[in-house]
Amino acid sequence: MATLDQKSPNVLLQSLCCRITGKSEAEVAHQFQYAVRVIGSNYAPTIERDEFLVSEKIKKECNRVRHTHSHTFFSFFSYKVLDSNTSIIIKHVGNYGALFAQALPRDAHSTPFYCTRPQSLALGYGERSAALSASVGTSGISSLGVYTLNGPTATPQSLLAGQPPQSAAGGGQPLGSRLAWALPVSCSPSSALAPLATRPALGPPVPSSRVVRPRRDGEVSEAALVRDILYVFQGIDGKFIKMSAQDNCYKIDSKVVLCKSLRDTSSRLAELGWLHNKVRKYTDARSLDRAFGLVGQSFCASLHQELKEYYRLLSVLHSQLQVEDEQGVIVCSESTLTLRRLLVWMYDPKSRLKTLAALVDFCQGRKGGELASAVHSYGKTGDPQMRALVQHILSLVSHPILNFLYRWIYDGELEDTYHEFFVASDPNVKTDRLWHDKYSLRKSMIPSFITMDQARKVLLIGKSINFLHQVCHDRTPPGKITPASKSADTPKDAAELLSDLEGAFQEKIDAAYFDTSKYLLDVLNRNYLLLEHLQAMRRYLLLGQGDFIRHLMDLLKPELVRPATTLYQHNLTGILETAVRATNAQYDNAEILKRLDVRLLEVSPGDTGWDVFSLDYHVDGPIATVFTRECMGHYLRVFNFLWRAKRMEYTLTDIWKGQMCNAKLLKTMPELSGVLHQCHILASEMVHFIHQMQYYITFEVLECSWDELWNRVQQAQDLDHIIAAHDMFLDSVISRCLLDNNSRSLLTQLRAIFDQIIEFQSAQDSLYRSALEELALRLQFEEKKQQREDEGQWGVTAEQVAEEKKRIQEFQDTIPKMRSQLRILTHFYQSIVQQFLVLLMTSTDESLRFLSFRLDFNEHYRAREPRLRASLGTNWGRRPSNI
């Protein structure tokens, strides 16, 4: 063989021709030339680079000619070829394959009948063919062994004797191992067992990798079980292992004869089928459900992906099984499928499927944000594989939610057909209630990886953007409000975001929140003068602008004493305008002044103008979000209260004025002095009371609350803060002005006091009228007397004097009536005030208790009212029980 190496191609070719034709060199000249010509002409070799393809091709050909046994051996030898380290083989096997492939179709009949072989080899081939028909497998190997050791010439006798000579130690070993490979364990080529048994001395003891167990009759073999199991893995009932519906598990038919270990192993493996079914059922059911939503669909998609991987594994196993089937002989011990091997290989997929099945169970019936929360809760596990799997699914599942979120906070758009996002929009709400009612949080849909605070902020951001667009008609692109940032376009972004929820996500939301809210507040303050309106409310509705209110009251006084039915709105509006123009209010913003208006409340019978008059302030547009209808109602109630109190003050001023003026005049009537004194006292009591009340209202209630409100509004970060601060302001004002439900008794007391004051005013008026009349008459009398004296007559006649005296007497008789009336009035007034004080002392509000101190600073009432004598300490914190 070595000598052949150095020969040139021509020489080789010639010797080839000699061999094939069996002629001597001289005779093959003609053929040789032909050969040279053919070879020289053909330049482009079609070399199959892939030996696998070649071997597959060849196998197919063998199949075609039904040379069943030979092609298994071909596969065997292909393995051998591929396993070997000789690089030459691997390089050129394609060529050889081409050689063989070319040769094959022509020589498609089996060896025994091919008789045109060169004579020198016929014997060898003939012997071989004889041996072939007996048992294919082993004879080939032994002939191989023969050729290895004895060269090309056949020694037929050594075929059957088969003891490999010891000359090539290396040769013996591969022979033995080859025999081992040839050991058939599977059922199909069981006939090969027999000849092997007849060669007991063949080679060294076979290192079998398999224990051939003695089998019982009719017992199912492991390979059949393996086949079944592979079907069960996909959820299809196998021959022996079927799904039993009532136990909801895969059971092996009890009729089947099976040893216990195999039964156990296959039961363990069948669990995978059960898990697979569970997951599959879920995905199938959900894919039909149209209202499942985007989150659910992505969940199903991720489950599908996992199942695809699983199926891939199954197909690999299947192909493995097929390979074994085709060979009929187990080639390498490492690649056979047994139940044990399956157990080990399917361990990882089993844990994955278990996780998926658990997820499926847990997520039954959930959708949207709930689903994401469920998946997220499963991510809290110590097992890193499970965690990775769940994280992966979570990133896919939360991707739609994050998409929603980004669209919402950057564009203010909400396209949520399946109600999966945690911000819900109510389509029935119109724009005036947009801020309060239109958008709300769907708490069930908040995923567990988003905190409540974040969710609220998100809601607020989107609300602000929508508010800007619809109510303020400000369509600045969101890029101006918040710097544009890329949304979660891919699930990878979502995964990144999820891994850093505390940091990046929070930052994004915070940034969007600050920018949007600031912009919104800017717009409101700049374009809609929110703060100015707030101040205007204070000035007009809460009687902040003193000079204006005073002037208005002055002007309105003659109008409002008339009964309410005679009042006309336009008259009053005209008066309002006059008042505005005459005072500092005229310098106010025109925007504010045009909203100021008069409103006439509902008229009940017996009402004077005082009872129905009210100021009003029109709000619309974005301002109405802060000053809602309820707020305006509150404002009107407070205005009413304040207006009444102011009226009392006004009344008492009038009384005092009257008193001051008339005191001097009526000095000449000493009999009136007692009555007048009483009047004065009562008036001063009333003045003191009202004074204290006004102080309380103005300073303790209004100013303090206003200050707090103003601070809050200046520091407010978003519109919600402003609305909340404003509402709190109104609430505190109302409760402190005794207008809420708890202080109803106090309020009625106060009203009673006010009524008393008015009665007193009317009483005093009538008193003064009669007194002044009397005074005027007396003066007249004196004047007449004087005049008559001047004329030289008697100043007064007797009957005139008598008349005068009678009149004076009459007048003086009315005085006690007046006095008693006043006394009653005083008494009544004082009792009311005492009751009021008692109620104040037991009230829960501290400032009211202090008011009671101020009202009764000199314990004037305390002396009269025993209940007031109880020290404040005993009433501290005590519930107002029956007092």
Partner 1 sequence: MASAANTNLNAVRETMDVLLEISRLLNTGLDMESLSICVRLCEQGINPEALSAVIKELRKASETLKASENCTN
Give the residue from 190, 182, 212 showing the smallest Cα distance to 72.
Answer: 182
* Minimal distance, residue 40 CB to partner 1, in Å: 8
Nearer to partner 1, 112 or 207 (CB): 112
* Minimal distance, residue 86 CB to partner 1, in Å: 5
Nearer to partner 1, 72 or 398 (CB): 72
What does the alpha-carbon distance between residue 676 and residue 660 come to, in Å, rounded to a whole number? 11
Nearer to partner 1, 155 or 800 (CB): 155
* Minimal distance, residue 138 CB to partner 1, in Å: 13
Give the residue from 233, 219, 230, 231 showing the smallest Cα distance to 262.
Answer: 219
Q: Is 251 helix (H, G, I), strand (E, B) or coil?
A: strand
Nearer to partner 1, 69 or 278 (CB): 69
Give the residue from 233, 231, 380, 359 showing the smallest Cα distance to 286.
Answer: 359
User: Exposed (0-12), middle (13-18) or buried (19+): which is 182, by Cβ within 10 Å?
Assistant: buried
DSSP code, position 696: I
* Minimal distance, residue 82 CB to partner 1, in Å: 10
What does the alpha-carbon distance between residue 697 and residue 592 come to, in Å, rounded to a whole number? 25
Nearer to partner 1, 71 or 367 (CB): 71
Question: Cβ neighbours of residue 210 under 8 Å, at least 6 residues apart?
Answer: 183, 185, 330, 333
- C-alpha count within 13 angstroms, C-beta hemisphere, residue 823: 7
DSSP code, position 608: B
Structural contact between residues 435 and 463, judged by C-beta atoms closer than 8 angstroms: yes
* Minimal distance, residue 38 CB to partner 1, in Å: 5
* Minimal distance, residue 20 CB to partner 1, in Å: 5
Structural contact between residues 650 and 758, judged by C-beta atoms closer than 8 angstroms: no
What does the alpha-carbon distance between residue 199 and residue 193 come to, in Å, rounded to a whole number? 10
* Minimal distance, residue 292 CB to partner 1, in Å: 58
- In this structure, the number of other CB atoms found within 10 A of the CB of residue 421 comes to 26
Tokens of 317: 């196993």
Give the residue from 425, 372, 358, 437 showing the smallest Cα distance to 401.
Answer: 372
Nearer to partner 1, 54 or 450 (CB): 54
* Minimal distance, residue 195 CB to partner 1, in Å: 18
Please calculate the CA angle 29-35-39 and round it to the nearest 5 degrees.
150
- In this structure, the number of other CB atoms found within 10 A of the CB of residue 828 comes to 15
* Minimal distance, residue 159 CB to partner 1, in Å: 14
* Minimal distance, residue 46 CB to partner 1, in Å: 7
The residue written with tokens 């190496």 in the block is 5
Nearer to partner 1, 28 or 697 (CB): 28
User: Exposed (0-12), middle (13-18) or buried (19+): which is 254, by Cβ within 10 Å?
Assistant: exposed
* Minimal distance, residue 27 CB to partner 1, in Å: 9
Nearer to partner 1, 96 or 794 (CB): 96
What does the alpha-carbon distance between residue 59 and residue 64 come to, in Å, rounded to a whole number? 8
Residue type for 472, please?
A: C
Nearer to partner 1, 25 or 426 (CB): 25
What does the alpha-carbon distance between residue 292 and residue 289 come to, in Å, rounded to a whole number? 6
Give the length of the chain.
Answer: 883
Structural contact between residues 882 and 866, judged by C-beta atoms closer than 8 angstroms: no
* Minimal distance, residue 177 CB to partner 1, in Å: 12
Nearer to partner 1, 23 or 340 (CB): 23
Structural contact between residues 666 and 773, judged by C-beta atoms closer than 8 angstroms: no
Structural contact between residues 175 and 152, judged by C-beta atoms closer than 8 angstroms: no
- In this structure, the number of other CB atoms found within 10 A of the CB of residue 494 comes to 22
* Minimal distance, residue 137 CB to partner 1, in Å: 12
Q: Is 613 helix (H, G, I), strand (E, B) or coil?
A: strand
* Minimal distance, residue 12 CB to partner 1, in Å: 5
What does the alpha-carbon distance between residue 639 and residue 617 come to, in Å, rounded to a whole number? 11
* Minimal distance, residue 116 CB to partner 1, in Å: 6
* Minimal distance, residue 164 CB to partner 1, in Å: 13
Helix (H) or strand (E) holding 159: helix 157-161
Nearer to partner 1, 115 or 245 (CB): 115
DSSP code, position 487: -
Question: Cβ neighbours of residue 738 under 8 Å, at least 6 residues apart?
Answer: 641, 746, 747, 750
What does the alpha-carbon distance between residue 771 and residue 658 come to, in Å, rounded to a whole number? 12
